[in-house]
Amino acid sequence: MTDRAQFSLAPTRQLRRRQIVSKLMEGVMLVSALAAIAVLGLLIATVIERGHSALSVDFFTKGPTTNFLGTTGGIANAIVGTIVIVAVATVIALPIGILVAVYTSEFARGGVRRVLAFTLDVLNGIPSIVIGIFIFGLIVLSHQQSAYAAGVALAIIMLPLVARSTQEVLALVPDSLREASFALGVSRWRTVTGLIVPASFGGILTGGTLAIARAAGETAPLLFTCALTTTKISWDPSQPLQSIPLTIFQDLEQPDPALHEQAWGAALVLLTFVLVVSVLSKAVLARNRRKLSR
Amino acid sequence: MSASATSAPRRFAFSPRRVRDRIGDAVLYVLAAAAALLVLVTVALLAYELVKQSWLAISEFGLGFVTSRAWDPVKSEFGALDFIFGTVYTSFLAVLVAAPAAIAIALFLTELAPRGFRTVIGTLVELLAAIPSVVIGLWGIFVLGPFVQHHLGPFLSRWLGFLPFFKGTPQLTGYLPAVIVLTIMILPITASVARELFLTVPRDLKEASYALGATRWETIRGVVLPQTRGGLVAAVMLGLGRAVGEAIAVTQVIGDTLGIHVSLFENGDTLASRIAAQYQAAATNIHISSLVYLALVLLVISLITNIAAQVIVRRFERQLAGR
């Protein structure tokens, strides 16, 4: 009788305990993932709930009024300013970032490549507020606050992101393609500009838009480079232009509840832009990767 | 038919195409190398510029700046200790909460979630990282602050009030909301790096473990985690670096006051937060210079964490490749 019990296939107490521990830990993992998604949902829901009432046609087309008692007006000046600042940053960061990636993937050898990758990582890790102070000393002190200065600051934030994402897609271009081109006697620059970059163009572009989404939401560098702004709607990058993140930041410092509502409205605009761009570029990037690595 | 056109041997070196190629190659190389050099120059220039701008404060206070607790713009006495404490304390606590949660999320995404859901859930977690810090700050001051003051704080002080961390009365601002905000911000970054790491664990190893009768958790603990240990440390350090440098969201919720407290209900300040809050209002040169000195201290702290993370990653990669 007792012999039989020893060969029973029913789980022993020890096995049951192991299984329970495993299930418990799986539960912890599930709950962690759900919690992260819940926080995301909560943030988005709050911004929509508190921000949607601020939205109107005027909100997008008019600048703020200087009338402290009446309506606060729109944030058109900030929307235009953000577009100008981010455009300046993109014009600087995109070509340089792509060239850096071309250098590492086509020219650099072991040691140089390692130093460069390391420096890019270091640059990526520098707090954005420190970059703001750097540009303040480099440009603002000798000239003045301007959208150009803010654009340079954001470009420094975007540069490592663009370079890194471009490197990744360039690495996906099969070596056989390069070798085929060289075997035909095509020069290196023609291979790069006519073959490698076009083949990975989609990936480069989406990496760039992800960097733009990141830069559009940055506030800290703008504090020192582009904060003494006016309520005028202007497209002139040599002027300090208002921006959406800064509008939110400055509205928060005021006690006026109407300005708080404006801050939530501006947050809704910013969040919508950032999330839509991120989701779209991630989807395109995933498709591109599949296509290239096939 | 002129004889010279056909019989004269073409000198290959002077063919226009060859010349164009040579120039094109050289131009591309010079442009790419210049761009690469620009990256190095930018980092060097950044360090130089910070030292230059803070030189007044450096020569006035010296290294004693980092151990001094004074911050009095009226008397022009400045020190960084309170802010260094605030930065290290809030970042450390945020990492303490975020690191295990991020690893759990990454494990869920790679080992547990049904295949079809993995990309969707992974993208959602990454979107959390895309939310601008100023929006999180806005949420922090209007939603999280009141919640901490009226619900979470009293709850913690009632059940865990015997601990020094939960002494005193919860307020709208303080270390606790700052830690929560930082946790939310570094969670997705750490999780997505950890997920990449777990994807590199060879399938055979996991299957061997299952074949030996190990449960899922035993496989994770015995195979997946040891296999990715070095990278995980680096992923956590990257999160720490991000937490150390965050200014905008923290400055909204931490209270912007001097002080070194253990209790999470107290107000305090961090390096980045103080710079963001006072830079525009700074009137005297020594005040501005001291704020840049704070930025320099912040740069050094974030460089140390980042470089340590890089070194660990590189060593770990070499270890994996060497096997």
Residue pLDDT, tens place only, B90-135: 999 999 999 999 999 999 999 888 888 888 888 899 899 889 999 9
Give B-chain residues touching A245 at CB under 8 angstroms.
132, 134, 248
Could you count the other beta carbons within 10 Å of the beta carbon of residue A29? Answer: 23
Cα A155 from chain centre? 12
Q: Do B49 and A156 touch (CB under 8 A)?
A: no
Cβ-contact B282, B266 below 8 angstroms: no
* Top-confidence residue, A75 or B203: B203
How far apart are the CA of B157 and the nearest CA of chain A, in angstroms? 23
List C-alpha distances in Å: B24 to A86, A105, A166, B21, B31: 31, 18, 21, 5, 10
Mutation site for A-interface testing, chosen from B38, B42, B117 by largest number of A Cβ within 10 Å: B42
Give B-chain residues touching A163 at CB under 8 angstroms.
39
Cβ-contact A130, B299 below 8 angstroms: yes
How far apart are the CA of A221 and the nearest CA of chain B, in angstroms? 9
Give contacts of A 53-92 with B, CB under 8 A.
none
- Residue B14 has a pLDDT of 63
How far apart are the CA of A120 and the nearest CA of chain B, in angstroms? 7
Out of B24, B119, B306, closest to residue A190 by CB: B24
Determine the length of chain A: 294
CATH for the stretch A59-292: 1.10.3720.10
Mutation site for A-interface testing, chosen from B20, B138, B184, B302 by largest number of A Cβ within 10 Å: B138
Q: Which residues contact A112 (CB under 8 A, 6 or more apart)?
A: B36
- The domain limits of chain A are 2-54, 59-292
- Residue A2 has a pLDDT of 53
Give B-chain residues touching A252 at CB under 8 angstroms.
137-138, 141, 252
| A187 at B interface, C-beta within 8 A | yes
Predicted TM-score (pTM) above 0.90 = no
Does ipTM surpass 0.85 in this model?
yes
Where does the pLDDT of residue B7 fall: very low under 50, low under 70, confident under 90, or very high at 90 and above?
very low
- Host H or E run for residue B159: helix B153-160
Mutation site for B-interface testing, chosen from A99, A119, A133 by largest number of B Cβ within 10 Å: A133
Q: Do A107 and B24 touch (CB under 8 A)?
A: no
- Residue A252 has a pLDDT of 83
Contacts 24+ apart (CB under 8 A), B254-259: B254/B86, B254/B90, B254/B173, B254/B174, B254/B175, B254/B177, B254/B178, B255/B171, B255/B173, B255/B174, B256/B173, B258/B69, B258/B71, B258/B82, B259/B82
- What gap in Å lies between CA B241 and CA B92, rounded to an integer? 10
- Res B297 pLDDT > 90: yes
Whose CA is closest to A150, among A60, A62, A78, A232? A78
Q: Which residues contact A124 (CB under 8 A, 6 or more apart)?
A: A160, A161, A164
Whose CA is closest to B65, among B286, B263, B242? B286
Give the pLDDT mean for A240-253.
Answer: 85
Give A-chain residues touching B31 at CB under 8 angstroms.
99
Sign of CA dihedral A220, B280, A230, A56: positive
- Residue A292 has a pLDDT of 63
Lowest pLDDT segment from A153-157, A269-273, B156-160, B180-184: B156-160
Cβ-contact A82, A217 below 8 angstroms: no
Give A-chain residues touching B250 at CB under 8 angstroms.
none
List C-alpha distances in Å: A28 to A35, A269, B118: 10, 35, 17
Report chain A's mean pLDDT, rounded to a whole number.
85
Q: Do A120 and B252 touch (CB under 8 A)?
A: no
Give B-chain residues touching A282 at CB under 8 angstroms.
123, 126
- What gap in Å lies between CA A97 and CA A103, rounded to an integer? 10
| A29 at B interface, C-beta within 8 A | yes
- Residue B315 has a pLDDT of 80
Where does the pLDDT of residue B3 fall: very low under 50, low under 70, confident under 90, or very high at 90 and above?
very low
